[in-house]
């Protein structure tokens, strides 16, 4: 009986503590029991594109305290509106809203996002709005009527050489290519454009040029030199006549015009494209980053591009589970000056696969040159390039994937292509097993 009384006394004491101020110290104080105010919030984009990413009612909203430990989340702005004014503990908050879904490196629609700070005061309704702006950079290709009337075929590459590359062809994209939206990393200052177009007479004309914000006529020291979310680049191609290698003799060329919609200034401005040689807007040779790999080549423009044909594999890697081997893993190398060498090197977290790759000549130096005679032993695993060809599509056969399936881990295939002028470009294809 005495034991029962002790348990009853302990339970009574616990309930007593729960009903007094000691509860706050033992269990932690609930911010909502103190002073509160209310928030009246609106969310908008300021633009209507009628896409799936600008429907503000679907935007998730997160309200996070800066000086108070309190967070409130709403799956959508519609849910917040249905709840009405939001009751919050007194303090300063950051409100974030964005398009639903994942903000991907490359998208077919814009991604909107925004944040706003608000101060909640006791017994006061604070009104504020979050204006969501485009967070990625829009790239669109405009083929003028003159261009379409002059050229029967074309391949146009656009890249920031920082994980984003897009190849446009007449076969795949027709005469009105759809825009692409890139999630740019910080510090991307240059957009590179190159490719070729075939005239109705069967002649190939080079397309090449670069664009920088710092080339803007009104650019001033201290202005942001990077392309940022909200920027929209429209790239136009127009046939022109340019002076050929023989003075006084003109040849076909292509003029590149880039119009930038600057989100900060809310206006369209034209970026002068760096002029060059070789029948069109090409980069001045031998200028390092913008005109070819510094210290490499013979002074000709480095117009090599490497892309994953829009699959995202070069950016995100390839993940394989079980026997589900992908069939669309291709790394496309566009080499206008002709292929001299293509190297493949393997670096792996799996020691057993590293040893196996070493036996195939894939671990030393630059790796195996797929244009060499010795590389014929690897033809069961990779298609082999032809020296002098202007394009090569690197891929992996089912036999290679089946072999990889026995070696779990992260396997990097480091690719390097060298053209006939000694220019080179590299890329890394990661396979996760």
Domain boundaries, the chain: 31-134, 137-302, 307-432
Whole-number CA gyration radius for the chain: 29
What's the pLDDT at 403? Answer: 78
Nearest to 210 by CA among 303, 332, 308, 315: 303
**104-129 residue pLDDT tens:** 999 999 999 999 999 999 999 999 99
pTM of the predicted model as reported, rounded to 2 decimal places: 0.59
Q: Is the dihedral of CA 291, 295, 296, 300 positive or negative?
A: positive
**207-243 residue pLDDT tens:** 888 888 887 776 777 777 889 999 999 999 999 887 6
What's the pLDDT at 214? Answer: 80
For residue 128 the two structure tokens come to: 């504020």
What's the pLDDT at 49? Answer: 60
With a cut of 50, which residues of the chain have pLDDT below it? Answer: 1-27, 276-300
What's the pLDDT at 107? Answer: 92
Q: Which CATH entry fits the domain spanning 31-134: 3.40.50.11690, 3.90.1150.10, 2.60.40.1120, 2.30.110.10? A: 2.60.40.1120
Nearest to 229 by CA among 355, 133, 370: 133
C-alpha dihedral, 399 to 163 to 385 to 170, nearest 10°: 110
Q: Round the average pLDDT of the chain to a whole number and report it.
A: 81
Torsion angles phi and psi, residue 79, rounded to 5: -65, -40
- Distance set, CA 37 to CA 31, 32, 209, 267 (Å): 12, 10, 56, 40
HSE toward the beta carbon, residue 135, CA cutoff 13 A: 20
- Spatial distance between the Cα atoms of 63 and 128, rounded to a whole number of angstroms: 12
What's the pLDDT at 75? Answer: 96
What's the pLDDT at 409? Answer: 87
What's the pLDDT at 24? Answer: 46
């Amino acid at each position: 009986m005495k034991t029962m009384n002790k348990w009853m006394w302990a339970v009574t004491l616990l309930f007593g503590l729960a009903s007094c101020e000691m509860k706050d110290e033992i269990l932690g104080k609930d911010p909502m029991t103190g002073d509160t105010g209310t928030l009246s919030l609106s969310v908008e984009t300021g633009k209507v594109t009628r896409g799936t990413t600008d429907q503000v009612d679907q935007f998730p909203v997160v309200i996070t305290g800066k000086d108070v430990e309190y967070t409130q989340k709403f799956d959508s702005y519609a849910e917040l509106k249905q709840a009405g004014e939001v009751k919050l503990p007194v303090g300063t908050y950051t409100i974030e809203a964005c398009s639903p879904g994942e903000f991907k490196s490359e998208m077919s629609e814009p991604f909107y996002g925004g944040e706003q700070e608000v101060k909640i005061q006791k017994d006061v309704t604070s009104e504020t709005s979050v204006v969501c702006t485009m967070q990625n950079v829009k790239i669109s290709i405009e083929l003028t009527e003159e261009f379409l009337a002059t050229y029967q075929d074309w391949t146009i590459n656009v890249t920031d050489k920082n994980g984003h590359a897009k190849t446009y062809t007449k076969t795949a994209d027709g005469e009105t290519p759809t825009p692409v939206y890139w999630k740019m990393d910080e510090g991307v200052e240059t957009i590179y454009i190159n490719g070729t177009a075939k005239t109705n007479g069967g002649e190939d004309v080079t397309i090449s040029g670069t664009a920088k914000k710092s080339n803007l006529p009104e650019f001033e020291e201290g202005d942001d030199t990077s392309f940022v979310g909200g920027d929209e680049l429209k790239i136009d191609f127009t046939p022109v006549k340019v002076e050929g290698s023989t003075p006084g003799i003109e040849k076909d060329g292509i003029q590149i015009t880039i119009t930038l919609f600057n989100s900060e200034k809310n206006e369209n401005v034209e970026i002068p494209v760096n002029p060059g040689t070789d029948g069109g807007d090409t980069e001045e040779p031998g200028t390092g980053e913008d005109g070819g790999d510094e210290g490499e080549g013979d002074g000709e423009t480095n117009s090599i591009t490497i892309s994953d044909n829009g699959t995202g594999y070069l950016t995100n890697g390839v993940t394989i589970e079980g026997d589900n081997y992908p069939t669309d893993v291709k790394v496309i190398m566009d080499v206008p000056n002709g292929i001299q060498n293509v190297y493949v090197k393997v670096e792996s977290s799996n020691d057993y696969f590293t040893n196996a790759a070493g036996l195939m000549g894939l671990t030393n130096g630059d790796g195996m040159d797929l244009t060499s005679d010795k590389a014929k032993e690897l033809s069961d695993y990779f298609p082999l390039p032809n020296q002098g060809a202007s394009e090569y599509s690197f891929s992996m056969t089912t036999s290679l994937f089946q072999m990889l399936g026995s070696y779990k881990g992260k396997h990097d295939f480091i690719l390097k292509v060298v053209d006939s002028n000694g220019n080179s470009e590299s890329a890394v294809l990661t396979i996760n097993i």
